[in-house]
Amino acid sequence: MTYSCLGHSPPKKDVAEKAVGRARFGADFSFPELLIGKILHSPQAHARILRIDTSRAEKLPGVKAVITHEDTPHVRIGRWVKDRPILAWGKVRYIGEPVAAVAAMDADTAEEALELIRVDYEPLPAVFSIEEAMASGAPLVHDDISSYQTDSPLHFEGNILNRGRIVKGEVGRAWAECDFIHEDSYRTQVVHQGFIQPHEATAVVDASGKVTVWSSTKAPFLVRDALVSGLGLPMSRIRVIAAAVGGDFGGKGTAQIEPMAILLAQKSGKPVRLALTREEEFTSTYMREATISQLKIGAKRDGTLVAVEGRIIYDTGAYCDLIGPMEHAADLFHGPYRIPHVDITALRVYTNNTPRGHFRAPVAPQAEFPIESHLDMLARKMGLDPVELRLKNALEEGDHLADGATVLNPGIKETLLRTKEYLHRERKGRLPNRGWGVASCHWGGVRVGPSGTPLDKFSLGSAAIVKVNEDGSVVLITGVTEQGCGPISILSQIVAEVLGVPYESVSVICSDTDATPYEGSTGGSQTTYRVGNTVRLAAEDARSQLQEIASERMEVPVSELEVGQGKIYPRGALERGLSIASLASAALMSRGGPILGTGRHLRRQRLEALVQAAQGKRLIDAPQHATHAVEVEVDPETGQVRILRYFACHDVGFAISPQNIEGQIEGGIATGLGYALSEEVVLEKGQTLNPNFTDYRLPTTMDMPQLDIQLVEIPSRYGPYGAKGIGEPPTIPVAPAIANAIYDAVGVRLRELPMTSERVFLALQAARRGTTP
Amino acid sequence: MKLDIDLTVNGQDYRLQVEGHRTLLDILRDYLGLMGAKRGCEHGNCGACTVLVDGQPVNSCLILAGDVQGKTVTTVEGLAQGGQLHPLQRAFIEHGAIQCGYCTPGMLLSAQALLAENPRPTPEEVKVALAGNLCRCTGYTKIIQAVLSVTGRSQP
């Protein structure tokens, strides 16, 4: 199949404004009398709030509003489990929790006002690690989890917020069938999304009381949900507009500062800009969870995996913003492999640490670092090549995941074969302190259950509008947010393809709760897959309206009309065609009126076939698979790891915009490198010790190796043109690939992230002494 | 205490009264309404606020108002000339070097400063020149390619 617009990489719609510095981010909006907001954070990890006295702050000249919990309804908000107050009441649960906020004429005055607010606390015993939180008699971070609203049932107990277990076959008896068994434990660290733009919002209240907020969020409709439930505002009085988003990576999908900005604007009667500092980013926003895990895997002599048993525990901090049941994490814990006997438990535990939420492939990097490290150790124990071991057990069409879902169109095998070829070509004889490592990943996919209801909340409704102007140009209206990954450009390519018009003639109105249709969130590596279909339907709807007019005018049945090059024409006779422009103009005078295509509810229209095909079973379409290979050099004197070469092969189903996909993979690898080697938010008794980019080290240009990226295209069943998602998977295999390469280079196994020079050095020392570090 | 500051920004002369503890970034954003330079960390770590002062790239969040008296400042808004994009801006667009765009103004100015001194840098020299500008989206690969393309050199 050849396409006119798909498979090319036209310049993205949003980048010209970004290149000239005119794109407006959340703090780039100016208004007369604009006030600056600042937040007062808790210095206590766990304490009862006895009294808050704001009187001195209110009297400071230039201060226009001070808010505390007394200005909010005592309602909890949150994306999945509603556990978080907008401003703390009763008690605080972590160092950094917002307690009060002020709006003043300028930032200096606002900061001075914060110092004048007096809060009396009565400290409470606190828990700072998974072990402390799960100890018997541990102090409770949340006293009354049973009262919290949530979208799916919680299995809570003590500080355990939720647990999930997946069981398949009979693990207990399966060990006897195994010739090799390997058992190990792992630890991963807290990391921040590291977007360069902190959270920013500007809120304005008009004379009628209607609030408009320009925010750094990528999910304006989810923010609106939180404002409705948290502030009690009706939707008619809230308009959330996603401004340009300076990086998201999962961290900007929930209401964090917007409710405070709005309360300050309401109370002062003036526009308010509220932007977090970098330190506030590291101490008061949702970050990726630390985990501890144990894993045991058994295999037959020929490499067939037989059984997996494991447990992974996520420290969710004082508040949890993650979606979904823990079965999801348990499922990822055994990777893209066919294993008949499975018993995996995943737990999420509250502590008095900073709150935890989504970060690029939420829960997956922590779950797949263990499995991919583990397979490497198992392969070595068995004398097998790690790629061959994976190939032997890689998921194939029709295989079942541990939860019983049937896998459609997996690409794991193809990525492994490409990696094998690459290594065969590039991996030359051994050099001292140099080694290669390989790791794969399994992510996402769209699940459909027996009743046809999607199992992941992410995949709920979606709608789009396609307007055709009288000159044949097109406007796409969608709730999707352009957070830098290119969604609005990819969706525009689809519109151009369906209508046969130039990509340049498509413009986009997006991410505005008043102006665009509802869209849950631009995330989950599902925008192209899910919204791409919705947009395709909307464009097809517009096209059929144009075709009807063309059919009448040319007296040719619709079934014999073709679309392309800006025209609708009888099959094979482009020269007889009528231009889209003339048809759209004619539409103004036609019975149907102006051309307005709509597409909605992808589920009903596209996935019904999938549900029927499932015949009562659970199916997973478009799983996202990849394999990475990396060559490292380890300095035996310092432990420093240098990345020499990096290969990544991803199955993308169908590459609608190859350059964009490469960009996602390159950026994902960079983020993975930081996770693997340098990044860690260090907390000591709940206090964040390195809340800045000096001590929290993001990869720079100097850390990037040469990248070799290959795409494979195993089409998905129901994604637009066979496309699958790509945003999240590239980060997942990086850390285990590097851990495996370090072992290959110097024979030491790192089971804890990040693999800093110090950790590698200590492991080398321990190996020389014959002890474990 | 307020200072009288004379400075030239993107070819335009300004006389401002500015409190002494204000930074060049504050002057650009809050006094002149030039929002191209971004606040990312205010510690000089991220480079999102990079501008050129007398042709040299600086973190404008670390430069105090008094230090820019009589200086010539170039921000991202001053790169395009006569309605034409600067070759670096075109290259960033064509090479897919822009994702979220928050680091882009700083990246462009660091790259511009490099090319003004060294019109044909090696890939390694480009990496060194951009090492103070953090980007979380791109993995830097396409940014480095874009800068090299302007010099006529091929990919790293």
pLDDT number for residue A601:
63
Distance between CA atoms of residues A755 and A766, nearest Å? 15
CB contact under 8 A, A484 and B101: yes
Q: What angle do CA A130, A753, A255 make, to 5 degrees?
A: 65
Q: Phi and psi for A549 in degrees, rounded to 5?
A: -65, -45
pLDDT number for residue B12:
97
Per residue in A333-369, pLDDT tens? 889 999 999 999 999 999 999 999 999 999 999 999 9
Nearest to A667 among B41, B77, B139 (CB): B139
Nearest to A277 among B42, B75, B96 (CB): B42
Helix (H) or strand (E) run with residue B88 in it = helix B87-94
Amino acid code (one letter) for A108: D
Distance between CA atoms of residues A386 and A378, nearest Å? 8
Q: By CA distance, what is B124's nearest residue in A?
A: A702
Distance between CA atoms of residues A503 and A505, nearest Å? 5
Chain B hits for A244, Cβ within 8 Å:
100-102
CA distances from A645 to A422, A670, B155 (A): 12, 13, 15
Give the minimum alpha-carbon distance from A155 to chain B in angstroms, rounded to a whole number: 36
Give the minimum alpha-carbon distance from B36 to chain A in angstroms, rounded to a whole number: 4
Put simply, whether A216 touches B (Cβ < 8 Å) is no
Residue A45 in tokens: 């990890």
Nearest to A663 among B40, B85, B96 (CB): B96
Helices A386-393/A364-382 angle, 10° precision: 110
Give the minimum alpha-carbon distance from B118 to chain A in angstroms, rounded to a whole number: 18
Residue given tokens 């330190």 in the structure block: A279
Mutate which: B59, B112, B141, B145, vs A, most A CBs within 10 A: B141
Distance between CA atoms of residues A337 and A308, nearest Å? 11
Q: By CA distance, what is B139's nearest residue in A?
A: A667
Q: What angle do CA B50, B55, B56 make, to 5 degrees?
A: 55
Helices A220-231/A258-268 angle, 10° precision: 60
Mutate which: B30, B98, B125, vs A, most A CBs within 10 A: B98
Closest CA to B57 of B48, B65, B89, B66: B48
CB contact under 8 A, B40 and A278: yes
CA distances from A673 to A554, A680, A699 (A): 60, 12, 7
Residue given tokens 């720079």 in the structure block: A700
Give the minimum alpha-carbon distance from A406 to chain B in angstroms, rounded to a whole number: 33
Distance between CA atoms of residues B88 and B110, nearest Å? 11
* A211-215 and A160-168 beta bridge pairing: unpaired
What is the pTM (predicted TM-score) of this model?
Answer: 0.97
Yes or no: say if A280 and A41 are a contact pair by the CB < 8 Å rule.
yes
CB contact under 8 A, B101 and A246: yes
Distance between CA atoms of residues A695 and A716, nearest Å? 43
Nearest to A698 among B43, B126, B134 (CB): B134
ipTM value for the complex: 0.98
Q: By CA distance, what is A9's nearest residue in B?
A: B96
Q: What angle do CA A745, A186, A126 make, to 5 degrees?
A: 140
Q: Round the CA-based radius of gyration of chain A to a whole number and report it.
A: 27
Chain A hits for B33, Cβ within 8 Å:
30
Closest CA to A192 of A130, A129, A249: A249
CB contact under 8 A, B126 and A701: yes
Residue A591 in tokens: 């019975």
Coil, strand or helix: which one is A379?
A: helix
Q: What is the DSSP string of A552-590?
A: HHHT--GGGEEEETTEEEETT-GGG-EEHHHHHHHHHTS
Amino acid code (one letter) for A383: G
Put simply, whether A191 touches B (Cβ < 8 Å) is no
CB contact under 8 A, B39 and A27: yes
Per residue in A617-662, pLDDT tens? 678 889 999 999 999 999 999 999 999 999 999 999 999 999 999 9
Q: Is A199 exposed, middle or buried (0-12, 13-18, 19+ CB in 10 A)?
A: buried
* B72-74 and B2-9 beta bridge pairing: parallel
Amino acid code (one letter) for A293: S
Distance between CA atoms of residues A19 and A30, nearest Å? 21
CB contact under 8 A, A16 and B93: yes
Yes or no: say if A151 and A315 are a contact pair by the CB < 8 Å rule.
no
Helical residues (DSSP H) of A561-705, grouped into ranges: 580-588, 602-606, 608-614, 658-673
Q: Is A564 exposed, middle or buried (0-12, 13-18, 19+ CB in 10 A)?
A: middle
**CB atoms near residue A151 (< 10 Å):** 12
Chain B hits for A671, Cβ within 8 Å:
136, 139
pLDDT number for residue B91:
98
- Residue segments in chain A with a per-residue pLDDT below the cut of 70: 324, 448-460, 601-617, 772-773
Q: Phi and psi for A310 in degrees, rounded to 5?
A: -165, 170
Chain A hits for B105, Cβ within 8 Å:
21
Helix (H) or strand (E) run with residue A596 in it = strand A596-600
CA distances from B6 to A147, A646, B9, B67, B76 (A): 61, 50, 10, 11, 20
Query: How many CA atoms lie less than 13 Å away from A559 in the CB half-sphere?
Result: 0
Q: Is A124 exposed, middle or buried (0-12, 13-18, 19+ CB in 10 A)?
A: middle
The maximal CA–CA distance of chain B, rounded, in angstroms, is 52
Chain A hits for B77, Cβ within 8 Å:
20-22
Q: What is the mean pLDDT of chain B?
A: 96
Residue given tokens 């279909």 in the structure block: A533
Contacts of residue A299, Cβ cutoff 8 Å, sequence gap at least 6: A178, A179, A180, A181, A305, A306, A378, A382, A389
Q: What angle do CA A322, A255, A509 make, to 5 degrees?
A: 110
Put simply, whether A110 touches B (Cβ < 8 Å) is no
CB contact under 8 A, B80 and A20: yes
Residue given tokens 């309804």 in the structure block: A73
CB-defined contacts A:B, below 8 A: 172
pLDDT number for residue A602:
52
Put simply, whether A198 touches B (Cβ < 8 Å) is yes
Give the minimum alpha-carbon distance from B9 to chain A in angstroms, rounded to a whole number: 15
Residue A447's beta-bridge partner residues?
A620
**CB atoms near residue B44 (< 10 Å):** 18
Nearest to A15 among B36, B93, B102 (CB): B93
Q: What is the mean pLDDT of chain A?
A: 94
Amino acid code (one letter) for B131: A
Mutate which: A22, A34, A701, A706, vs B, most B CBs within 10 A: A701
Residue A296 in tokens: 């045991």
For residue B153, is pLDDT > 70? no
Mutate which: A25, A193, A196, vs B, most B CBs within 10 A: A196
Chain B hits for A197, Cβ within 8 Å:
38, 40, 48, 100, 102
Yes or no: say if A319 and A145 are a contact pair by the CB < 8 Å rule.
no
Distance between CA atoms of residues B80 and B86, nearest Å? 5
Helix (H) or strand (E) run with residue A49 in it = strand A47-53
Put simply, whether A707 touches B (Cβ < 8 Å) is yes
* A47-53 and A91-92 beta bridge pairing: antiparallel
CB contact under 8 A, B77 and A14: no
Residue A318 in tokens: 């004082």
Closest CA to A530 of A603, A456, A598, A613: A603
**CB atoms near residue A757 (< 10 Å):** 15
Distance between CA atoms of residues A88 and A99, nearest Å? 5
**CB atoms near residue B71 (< 10 Å):** 18
